[in-house]
Every structure is written in C-alpha cells, then in structure tokens.
Chain A
Amino acid sequence: MAQPHPLIDRLEAQATAVAATVARVTSLDEALAYVTTLCAEKAPCQQLRAGGESLPAGSGEPHKIIAAPGLPEAAVTALRQRAAPLGITVITDGLRRHLGGIDVAFTLADAGLAATGTLVLRCADEELRLATMIAETHVALLPASGIAADADALEPTLAAWMSQPGYTAFITGPSRTADIERVTALGVHGPLELHILIREDG
C-alpha cells in the first residue's frame, strides 16, 4: 500500500471508538513482548463452568494461558521463551479442553477495515475460532499493509476467500451487548478486551 498512514490512523480511531485498544509495533518480537506483559499483568482468568462430561473444564491450576493457534513454529518458540519465566503456558491446540476460559488469545489478522476499525480473520481452523472466543483478552497482530479502506475495497479478496469452505470473521471491538436497558456491557460471551497491534512495515 503506497500511503498506509491515513488508513492506520482511521483504523486506530474507529477501533478505539468501539472500546478496542490499539498499539503500534515494528516487529513480531515486540508484539510477543506486548502479549506476555499484558498476560502477566492481567487478573487471572475467571474460570467458567464449561459443563459436559466428555469436555472437562479448564484444570483451574493457578497458571495463566496464552493460546496462539496458527502462529508459525518459530514464533511459538519465541513466545514460550518469553512466557515461561512469567509462569504463563502457551498452547496452540486442544482448546476444547479449556472452554471454561483462557487468559489471552494471540492471533494473526488477515486484514483490517479502516472505516469501521475491524479485524478480518480467516478462521476455518476451529482452534483459532475457539481461542478468539474463550480468551478473556484477544490480541491480534495486524500488518499495516493488510489494512483496506473498507469492506468494499477488500471485496474481491473476500469473495475469493468465501468461494471455498471456510469461516471468515469480521471482529469490531470486544464482544458487547446492550440487551438490558440498552446499557453497553462488554464481554458477554466472547472476549472482554480486544487489542490490535498494528505492525508497521520497516
């Protein structure tokens, strides 16, 4: 993208307006540092009853969990190196064993929509879908080059993605509801917080 900055600014403003947190990073390593620090500093995940005999709830052990499905192997290793000293476990699969909740999901976004502050995630992979729903905090790394002005600008790409079996998600801010007296409440079924880390090229 020739001039990405207006789009970055717009995405940041729009995402912030819907209660997402936006930060800019210049490397994957910086993003990993952000994620581990955030996880270390957050209150431990409140385990929900997950129910189902064949689906035991999260073990409830006092360690924190970062799920990073779909992250390249080298990045997972780097994340584990940062996380381990802080008592944080990094998992990349088996999320059905943690349906009572995990602390943080770290994902790579496929695109962004500046006009609405939206992340676009291709998540046919069930682990990825689950991570982004059962984590209390979802942190997504979004390459600045992947930011489109709006869904219209991304239409041909989206249409191509949809032409094969798949599950594409537009995510705009954390899970929210206004079903009781129209008062906004965040984190009804999905994440309580959404962080977007925009990785600027160079």
Chain B
Amino acid sequence: MQDATSFKQYRRQVRRALDNTFQREALDRFAVAYRTGRANAFSGVDIPELVAAIAAAKDAALDHLEELFEEFKAYAEAAGAVVHLARTAEEACDIIAGIARDNDVKKVIKSKSMTAEEIRLNTRLEAEGLEVTESDLGEWIIQLRHEGPSHMVLPAIHLSRYQVRDLFTEVTGAEQSVDIQKLVKVARRELRPRYCEADMGISGANLAVAATGTLGIVTNEGNARLVTTLPRVHVALLGLDKLLPTLHDALRILKCLPRNATGQALTAYVTWITGAVPCATGPGGKKITHIVFLDNGRLAMAKDPQFKQVLRCIRCGACANVCPVYRLVGGHALGHIYIGAIGLVATYFFHGKDKAKNLVQNCLNCGACKAVCGAGIDLPSCIKEVQARIQDADGHPLYAATAGAILRNRKLFHTMLRTARRLQKPVTGGTPYLRHLPMFLMKGQEFRALPAIADRPFRDRWPDIRPQAEGRGRRVVLFAGCLQDFVYPEQLEAAVTVLAARGVDMDFPMEQSCCGLPLTMLGEKAACRDLAAHNIRAMADDDAPIVTLCASCGSFLKHGYQRLFAGDPAMAETVERFCHRVIDFSSYVHDVLGLTAADFAGPGRTVTYHAPCHLCRGLGVTEAPRALLGDAGLTYLPAEEEDVCCGFGGTFSMKFPELSQELLQKKLDHIAATGAAALATDCPGCIMQIRGGCEREGSTIAVRHVAEFLAERITPKKD
C-alpha cells in the first residue's frame, strides 16, 4: 500500500521496491507468461468486438445506475434478500457492522472483495470485536502478514514460497515445507474450521444482474461457494458499478474477465445467487441474505464525462499485468488499495488526492494498459487528467508551471534552446553528448548519455535544403517536434531526402512549436490547450497530410488534441480536420507513397527494431516500418519485447530515473541479444534514450530513425 506523504518519500519507496529481487523476477516471469496465456485464452475470440460490446453495455448501464439499483433491489428482495445502498465507505461499514450485531455474529469468513478493501471493512469489523478471516489463499496470506494486496487478482504475488512457508510455520506452530502443493493444503486444513464456525460470510460480487436480482461471483478456489453456503448470514458487498441490466451483459463480461485476468477461458467456479437460498442453520431453514451496494463517489463519477469510463472496469487486473512500471516495483508501490493503471485513477476518487498525487506521476504514458483493457478504458488519459486536477486543486509545481509558461510562447522557448546551445560548449567537449554537466543537473541521469543541442536546428537548415517544389501532385507539411528540430535535425533531413526522391512537395511552417505532450505529462492542461491551438493555426488550414517522424508527437497531434478540445464545440470541426491530416513517416512512405523493394538499393545490414509506444499502440502502426526495413534490403532480426517501452516516457525519465534506467537496461539487453548491427525506430525520444544507453555502455550498435536507413538506400528520382 502506497502511502507516501511527499514525492521524495514516494521515490524512496519506489527505490526500495526496486531492490526486491524476488518480486522483480516473479513479475518478469509473470509479464512474459501472461502475454502467451492471454493470447491462447482469447484464441478464436474477436477481442476488439468483445471489448467494444462490454464498453457499450457498461456505458449504457452507467447512465441508469439508480434505476438499475431499484430494479435489482425489487427482484432480489422479492426473492428473500435485503438490499442496501451505502453512500459512503463509512456507511457501508456501519450497515455491515449493524447486520453483524442484529444477528449476534461473532465470527466472519470472507471471500475476496476489492470493495471490502476499498472501505477497509476488516479494520472496522475487528474494531467491533468480530473475528474476521479471509478465505482466499492470497488474501489470507496477506491478512496474516498485515499488508494489503499487491495485485487485484493475485494479491500475494510479491511473496515467495519461502515467505509463505515461514508464515505458515508461525501460524500453525508446526514446521512447514516449501512445497507449494503442501502449503496450499495447509490453507485447506486451517481454513475449513473457520468456514464451519463462522456466523457470517462476506463476499464481493463481480456482476449484478438487475433483471433478476442475481449476483455473479467469479472465483477459482471455490471459497466463495463455502462462504455463501455455510454461515447462516451472507453479506455481499459490491460497487454500484457492477450493476448490469441483463444476464446477456453479464455473460459478455464473463467471456472477457477470466481470459484477460489469468488467461483462463473460465475460472473454476462462477456462482450465481438469486435471493435467499436454503440454509440449515438459518431461521426457518433460510439464509439471511444482505446485499450492500456501495456508492462512495460512483454516482457522481458516472455523470463525469471524462471519468465515467473508469467505472467500466471489470477488475481483471490486466492493466497491472502489462504495465512496465508495475513489473519493476509491484503493487505496493503502484497502488494505494486499487493497483496498476486503474489504481492510479481509482485512488484519486476513492481515497483522495493526497493518496493519489505521487502515484499518478508514476506513469510512462506507454499505453500498454489501454491496449489490454477489457473494457476499453483510456487509462493513460485518465491518469493525466487526474494529475491535472490535483495540480489545479493543490497548485502547480514550479517546474511544471514554468514549463507551461515557456512552451506557451514559441519564440521564448526557441530562444532559450538557442541560448542553451551556445552555453553547452563547455559540457559537450565537442561531442554530440552532454559530457560534463554539473552534478546537480545530472543527478540520477548518469545511466544514459544525454544529447547535445545541434549546432543548427532543422528550421534554420530548411531554407537551404528545401527541394524545389515540383507542383506535380503530392504535397505534405512536415511537423518536426522539438527533439528533431533542435537535437536530431539529421533525421528530418533524411526524411526530406526520401520524400524529395519521390517528388513529394514539402512545406515546413516556421510557427510550429512543441506538440504539447510534455505539458500533458506535467499536468499542465490549460497551457497545453493554448499550445495545441497555436500549432493548429501554424500548420495551415489545407488538406495536405501532416507528416511527422516523431511517434509521440504524431500520436498526441492525432488523438491527444481531440481529447484536449473535447467539450469545445467551437473547435470541434477544426480539430477534427487537423487530426485527420496527421500521419507518421513510415505509414506515409509505405502506405501512401507505396514504396517497395524496387525503390531501394544499397548495403545489406542486420537491423533490429524498437516499436515506439506511441507508434504501435498510440497510432496502431506495426507493419509499415518493419516492411520498409525489409524493402530497403536490411535483414530484420526481431528482438524480444519490441513493443515494451524503452523507459523514456518524456519527463518520466527525469522524475523516476531509477525506473527509466531499469527499463532501458532490459531494452538494451534484448537488442544486444539479436546480434543486429543496428537498431531502427520511429521516435526521436526512443532514440535519445536507447542511443544514450548504448553510448554509456560503449555499444557499437547504431541507433537510428527508420528514415535514415531509407535515405541511404532510396534510388534516385524516377521520372
């Protein structure tokens, strides 16, 4: 459970988590195994169609939560249950404690419920003098250790069999073995009497079908069946967001949840309960059944256009499974109670901005969570929006506000870059890297060489290199982005060479500036919107494609701008037209120009590829660059985990250098393992990170933009 009160303290927690070697290795294995397991489980299923169906069903349900609650209540109560609505976490605890008192309950057995974690139910019930036992194996383990879950589905994934052996030895007073099969049997033995002695069983629920007042509970161990069968009282606690109109909707979610969570087609048990069922020890042979729905901000959230989608969450935990940061630091450092990408957002809503303010900064914006989400939630955008709201409430940090003020003003920003170029001479030592930065600026950044600002930015070179316009048809407008304009102008020059060789006319509007993504990363939404409006004006209102060589700029121009101006009808059409024009260089060359192997000649070479997050997920481009490398006569050697983030993440690498370094190291290892002589990619940010790492390692692998490989090999202009 992350509970730091300052960013500094949070970074210390993160560093401590990084030192947990067992957890690191366990999560590494999990990340790799999960990918295959999930793919197998979904074989034959149209994932985008299923995700869209779930998103649509949940969105429709979220518009009618109160009606669905009334409908559920009517049917469930007709079937003998009592249905409650708790407005707050405290009210939910009160209700459940009251049920326990009314029924003379002494002992409680629980099955897994994140909602119970959300309201800290155990703490409250224990304060009432009740003995509470968790029955899910992982939950029981962490209950005995007095800690919170580190994963929503696998709560004890951070622990080794040795730690569990020691714990069980202590708890049973008998020496236990490290054999996992035997440890599981210890739980079977120790927990059976707890079920039998309990007066009350508390479960969560994954699904609530309003049409019949039915709860759906998804488990593997079968503990929920015992929890809901043996004690004379059953209390189910669930968020209002679990309500669905019909069984049909519930079955859509059931098709996705186990597959996305654990790579199972279905869990061992799915339990559907309607009303009060027979119970030999209950009054009149009937179970006392209470169903407690929790609001705790959900109704308000369902009416918030930006965050309504967060309530689509089906709690599969997949967003943690694929998160590169989660893989490094685990759930205790990447969540308060809810964990992973959804946890960063949910923490803000359910546990307040003080618990969320550090967490939300720990996001690479790599989009892996969004791509895997079973309910199609745009998690990275939600995380950034939370960060922006917290800053609006708490005040903007000086560095963020300053960045906002500078980037809003292109002339000021570019003047500062030019000044920095003049001043950097003493620290470059004549190399393209910053060699001798004063230590206070370099703290934590030693893991990669940082590039120097180029002698002449692309915008100064453009008048000299601009090809004669041919006016024969194709024309594009180049968008540079800061890194290529001021640090890597040669990449843009390479693109100009390729495009000119095929007779494409080009424009480079001088008023263009930073795309604005860094400001979004810093939570400076208002400044970012001004900057975006500036760029939209600068890029000329015509139909020519806007070609960019930077995946991050491209993805932000194309999708980020639409989010920035969502809810601004005056801008809608202009933004839509602008976004439609944006295309990445590889796609333009491959898909629009249609270049093939016949267009290239030149030296063969082995090359591997890094798929930038904002290209492969942000823009959905995966084939074009790889095809181009082959067409250009290069031998493409695929690397492991090509689509996992290199750790740059823009300002992320400045805030969390220790995480950035670890991600970079994995990337470098995968690249080296291919034996390729060179690496191609489509994003100057990734190049800065990976090339900087290679330089620091003394590696000879040439790290370059796809455009540079193509420029060397494109055949002369054909007429």
Which of B156, B159, B209, B220 has the most chain A CB within a 10 Å cutoff? Answer: B220
B641-661 with Cβ < 8 A to chain A: none
Q: Is A124 positioned at the interface, with any CB of B under 8 Å from its CB?
A: yes
Of chain B, the residue at the smallest CB distance from A172 is B266
Q: Do residues A179 and B225 form an inter-chain contact, with CB atoms below 8 A?
A: no
Q: Kindly identify which residue among A96, A100, A172 contacts B280, using a CB–CB cutoff of 8 Å.
A: A96
Q: Do residues A180 and B278 form an inter-chain contact, with CB atoms below 8 A?
A: no
Known: A52-B196, A164-B79, A180-B183. A170 touches B269 (CB 8 A): yes
> In the bound complex, what is the Cα–Cα distance between A179 and B269 (angstroms)?
16
> In the bound complex, what is the Cα–Cα distance between A40 and B643 (angstroms)?
55
Q: Kindly identify which residue among A133, A179, A185, A187 contacts B136, using a CB–CB cutoff of 8 Å.
A: A179
Known: A159-B211, A162-B272. A180 touches B161 (CB 8 A): yes
Q: Do residues A175 and B181 form an inter-chain contact, with CB atoms below 8 A?
A: no
Contact with B along A176-196 (1 / 0, CB 8 A): 111111110101111100000
Q: Is A129 positioned at the interface, with any CB of B under 8 Å from its CB?
A: yes
> In the bound complex, what is the Cα–Cα distance between A189 and B16 (angstroms)?
35
Known: A14-B265, A162-B212, A178-B262. A167 touches B272 (CB 8 A): yes
> In the bound complex, what is the Cα–Cα distance between A160 and B159 (angstroms)?
44
How many B residues have CB within 8 A of the partner chain?
73
Q: Is A18 positioned at the interface, with any CB of B under 8 Å from its CB?
A: yes
Q: Is B392 positioned at the interface, with any CB of A under 8 Å from its CB?
A: no
How many interface residues does chain A have, given as a range? Answer: 35 or more
Q: Is B30 positioned at the interface, with any CB of A under 8 Å from its CB?
A: yes
B185-208 with Cβ < 8 A to chain A: 185, 187-189, 191-197
Closest beta carbon of chain A to B556's beta carbon, Å: 37
Which of A117, A176, A177 has the most chain B CB within a 10 Å cutoff? Answer: A177
Binds A, one of B245-253, B350-358, B399-407, B446-454: B245-253
Q: Do residues A185 and B276 form an inter-chain contact, with CB atoms below 8 A?
A: no
Q: Do residues B197 and A166 form an inter-chain contact, with CB atoms below 8 A?
A: no
Q: Residues of A contacting B209 with CB < 8 Å?
A: 162
Q: Is A125 positioned at the interface, with any CB of B under 8 Å from its CB?
A: yes
Q: Do residues A164 and B268 form an inter-chain contact, with CB atoms below 8 A?
A: no
**Taking chain A's interface residues, is the majority helix, strand, or loop, or is none over half, making it mixed?**
loop
Q: Is B180 positioned at the interface, with any CB of A under 8 Å from its CB?
A: yes
Q: Do residues B221 and A189 form an inter-chain contact, with CB atoms below 8 A?
A: yes
Q: Do residues A180 and B212 form an inter-chain contact, with CB atoms below 8 A?
A: no
Q: Do residues A175 and B222 form an inter-chain contact, with CB atoms below 8 A?
A: yes
> In the bound complex, what is the Cα–Cα distance between A177 and B223 (angstroms)?
10
> In the bound complex, what is the Cα–Cα distance between A129 and B515 (angstroms)?
61
Q: Kindly identify which residue among B79, B225, B251, B278 contacts A169, using a CB–CB cutoff of 8 Å.
A: B225
Other than A129-B229, A167-B277, A182-B30, give 11 A-B pairs with Cβ distance below 8 A.
A52-B193, A55-B197, A113-B266, A126-B280, A159-B212, A163-B211, A175-B220, A178-B154, A178-B220, A181-B180, A185-B180
In the A-B complex, the 4 residue pairs with the smallest Cβ-Cβ separation, listed nearest first, are A51-B193, A190-B222, A179-B138, A170-B270
26 interchain pairs, CB-CB under 8 A: A51-B192, A99-B196, A126-B277, A126-B279, A130-B229, A152-B251, A158-B247, A165-B277, A166-B273, A167-B272, A168-B272, A169-B270, A171-B269, A175-B269, A176-B220, A176-B268, A177-B137, A177-B221, A179-B138, A180-B141, A180-B156, A180-B180, A183-B161, A187-B184, A188-B137, A189-B221
Interface residues of A (CB under 8 A from B): 14, 18, 48-52, 55, 96, 99-101, 113, 115-118, 124-126, 129-130, 132-133, 151-152, 155, 158-159, 162-183, 185, 187-191
